Amino acid sequence: MYRRTELFIDGRWTAPSTDAVIEVVSPHTEQVIGHTPAAAAVDVDCAVTAARTAFDRGPWPRVDPAERIAAVERLAGAYKQRRAEMAELISAEIGAPIAFAKRVQAQLPLMAMAAFTKVAAEYPWSESRPGFYGKDIRVTRQPVGVAAAIVPWNMPQFLIVGKVVPALLAGCTVVVKPAPEAALDALLFAEIVAAADLPPGVVNVVTGDRDTGAHLVAHPGVEKVSFTGSTGAGRQVAMSCAEGLKQVTLELGGKSAAIVLADADPAATATAIRMASLANSGQVCNALSRVLVPASRATEFVGALEAELAGLSVGDPSDPATEIGPLVAHRQQARVREYIEDGQRQGARLVLGGSSMPEGTDRGWYVRPTLFADADNSMRIAREEIFGPVLTVIGYRDEAEAVDIANDSDYGLAGAVFTADSDHGQAIAARVRAGSFGVNEGYIMDPLAPYGGVKASGFGREFGREGLDGYVVSQSISQAIGA
Q: Active-site residues: which are they?
A: 251, 285
User: Is the Cβ–Cβ distance between 332 and 387 less than 8 Å?
Assistant: yes
In a 3-state reduction of DSSP, which class is residue 306? helix
> Closest by alpha carbon to 469, among 443, 444, 446, 451?
451
Alpha-carbon torsion, ordered 211, 217, 221, 226, to 10 deg: 140
Residue 196: CB atoms within 10 Å: 19
Taking Cα atoms as reference points, which of 204, 143, 162, 157 lies closest to residue 9?
204
Q: Three-class SS of residue 160?
A: helix
On whether the CB atoms of residues 160 and 151 are closer than 8 A, the answer is yes
Q: Report how far residue 134's alpha carbon sits from residue 408's, in angstroms, rounded to the nearest whole number.
A: 50
Helix (H) / strand (E) element for 273: namely helix 266-277
Distance set, CA 140 to CA 125, 128, 134, 168 (Å) = 6, 9, 19, 17
- Decide: 406 and 432 in contact? Cβ < 8 Å: yes
Q: Is the dihedral of CA 29, 31, 32, 34 positive or negative?
A: negative
**Long-range residue pairs from 421-427, CB within 8 A, at least 24 positions apart, any chain:** 421/261, 421/263, 424/261, 425/261
CB contact at 8 A, 464 and 447: yes
Residue/partner pairs of 65-68 with CB below 8 Å, 24 or more apart = 65/120, 65/123, 65/125, 65/169, 65/171, 66/121, 68/120, 68/168, 68/169, 68/171
**3-class SS of residue 414:** coil
